Amino acid sequence: MAFDDLQAEIANLINQMEDQPEDRHELYEQIRERLNEMRAYGMPLPEDLVALEKALEAEFMAAKEAAPPKKS
């Protein structure tokens, strides 16, 4: 996939995230996948998207740690 196509797809995912906050985790996973594709092809990563990826990852990790343990 071309760099411009990946950037456009990521921008679209961010717009979806703003419109559908209940799907933040799914959109985070999609953004992460696209950035990983860019990494795999050695493409330069937009710094703002890398920062967003890290912020969302930290948010989800904090929520996971704050959640009560599951009962077996």
Secondary structure (DSSP) of 1-62: --HHHHHHHHHHHHHHHHH-GGGHHHHHHHHHHHHHHHHHTTPPPPHHHHHHHHHHHHHHHH
Q: What is the C-alpha to C-alpha distance for residues 30 and 59, in angstroms, rounded to an integer? A: 16
- pLDDT tens string, the chain, 72 residues long: the values are 577 887 788 778 777 766 665 677 887 888 888 889 989 999 888 888 888 889 888 988 888 888 777 776
What pLDDT is recorded for position 19? 66
What pLDDT is recorded for position 11? 79
Domain ranges within the chain, ordered by starting residue: 3-63
Q: Does pTM top 0.75 for this prediction? A: no
